[in-house]
Structure 1
């Protein structure tokens, strides 16, 4: 099977605008959320949430957008994939719009906060960060968030091994190198990083569905069958008396301030 190595291939060149089109339903049902503390730290020190307008870029089916909306923030959820937008759950404070990270179609200095949850690695970093700076108000805030699977947790490590074996990329959970553009951007300063723990509770259907939400995992064929068989065996070994297993995440939140023009 042909493999692509994200160590050498920029992910923004791997058709990120449409590659999740057939994963929208699995995204809605099985992708993990984010810890409440992560949302709180993003908003800490800003104006009251009801006075904020945020742009959530690469919003997917709106998991993070709705979390911000539940805090009272008005959110423009920018997502280029029509299937993902159509699968999103409505929220009165969330407006879904077509757009990319590089071309959001938002006005200059129009938002107080830009967020990107589990998506920044799919963006072309240089034009993206310029676009984020352009749409932010002076001294606006950028928050980039990832859920990293915890390799120290036995179940999570074995789950990761099984998914990688069936994946058409060599690494499916390597994100930290994508922080580098944040460190060298001429548009943002004062990088702060926070780490939180998040446990996703899943039954067997959820465990398989979570895996099928990855764009790198085949949806049919021998490798998909191998994946499902491996996950069934893993579930039988680790499920508790209530029928649940837990994928443990280390949620990293990177917060930066926009440089005033």
Structure 2
């Protein structure tokens, strides 16, 4: 009998619509934000932010949606997970709606900017990119963003090793950055990638909380207990005199333009 290789199984087949339901509180409290420069480059060359309507797809608890909203952009945050939507902090510029990347339920040619922050790897790429093209106005923009833990940073590298050791066999973190579909899509052109560094200040509670927010990390059992003990040890070795450690992320921003139909 053949067995599925977890390292090649498409991530969009691994229950992406419900797998974060028990992580919503940790997600909203401990997941990192994104650097201001990333938002700057996404909006660069577009109309003034107050004239833009963006669709933030796979918006989670609205971290990225609120960043766009604070710039004056009107944002429709599309998120299929009810627990994530309910945990989101309200924002006057952000309207949450139930929907998926493949079926957003948004009108044709109604959106100036589509964004996906830390989510595109959970989408079925071909129907997703077709849907994004459908809802974008002619020559609209798509921005796909990932925060990747920086291996070259001593603390972050050690933390990443601990998280991987405790994680299940899906190896989600190793397959997050998923740009190949963007390169071959018939709907988008002119891919540009920009990289920024972002540091998240964490106390011990925050360090454990961020680690528990990953869907591939167990929330109970021996592996979870061992991870917490190891994180406590790591924190003790790296914490500064104010009681903080710093997780370093490399933020990858990938921008494309829609091909006019």
User: TM-score, with normalisation over the residues of structure 1?
Assistant: 0.97
Does residue 1:40 correspond to 2:40, yes or no? Answer: yes
Match of 1:235 in 2: 235
Q: Distance in 2 between matches of 1:68 and 1:170?
A: 32
In structure 2, the partner of 1:13 is: 13
Give the conservation status (yes or no) of the 8 Å contact 1:146–1:175.
Answer: no
Instruction: Report the alpha carbon displacement of residue 175 of structure 1 after superposing the two structures with TM.
Output: 4.3
Correspondence for 1:224: 224
Paired residues of 2:171 and 2:216 also in contact (CA < 8 A) = no
How far apart are 1:169 and its partner, in Å?
3.0
Partner SS state of residue 64, structure 2: helix
Contact in 1 for aligned 2:79/2:98 (Cα 8 Å): yes
Please report how far the alpha carbon of residue 173 of structure 1 lies from its aligned counterpart in structure 2 after TM superposition.
2.5
Q: Supply the distance in 2 between the matched residues of 1:238 and 1:23 (Cα, whole angstroms).
A: 26
Match for residue 164 of structure 1? 164
CA RMSD of aligned residues (A): 1.1
**1:108-164 per-position Cα deviation (integer Å, ceiling 9, x unaligned):** 000000000000000000000000000000000000000011110010010000001
Q: Quick one: distance in 1 between partners of 2:14 and 2:173?
A: 16
The DSSP-based 3-state class of the residue aligned with 1:256 is strand
Shift of 1:30: 0.2
**Residue 193 of structure 2 is aligned to residue 208 of structure 1:** no
Structure-2 separation of matches of 1:67 and 1:106: 21
Tell me the equivalent position of 2:98.
Answer: 98
Q: How does 1:62-211 map to 2 (within 5 A)?
A: 62-169=62-169, 171-175=171-175, 178-211=178-211
Q: Residue 149 of structure 1 contacts residue 173 of structure 1 at CA under 8 Å; is this kept in 2?
A: no
Q: CA deviation at 1:176?
A: 6.3
| Deviation larger for 172-181 or 34-43 | 172-181
Q: Deviations over 1:174-207 (max 9, x none)?
A: 2465100000000000000000000011000000
Runs (5+) with no aligned partner, structure 2: none
Residues 5, 169 of structure 1: 8 Å contact kept: no
Whole-Å Cα distance in 2 between the matches of residues 58 and 210 of structure 1?
19
CA contact (8 A) 2:112 2:137 kept: yes
Q: Contact 2:121/2:176 (CA < 8 Å) preserved in 1?
A: no
- How far did residue 54 of structure 1 move? 0.1
| 1:220-244 superposed Cα distances (whole Å, 9 cap, x missing partner) | 1100000000000000000000000
Q: How far apart, CA to CA, are the structure 2 residues paired with 1:106 and 1:166?
A: 39
Aligned pair in 2 of structure 1 residues 158, 167: CA closer, same or farther (>3 Å)?
A: same
Q: Which runs of 5+ in 1 are unaligned?
A: none
Structure 1 segments (4+ residues) deviating >6 Å: none
> Counterparts of 2:176 and 2:210 in 1: how far apart (Å)?
22
Q: Deviations for 1:66-122, whole angstroms, at most 9, x for unmatched residues?
A: 000000000000000000000000000100000000000000000000000000000
Q: Structure 1 residues 166, 195: CA separation in 2 closer, same or farther (over 3 Å shift)?
A: same
> Is the Cα contact below 8 Å between 1:197 and 1:251 reproduced in 2?
yes
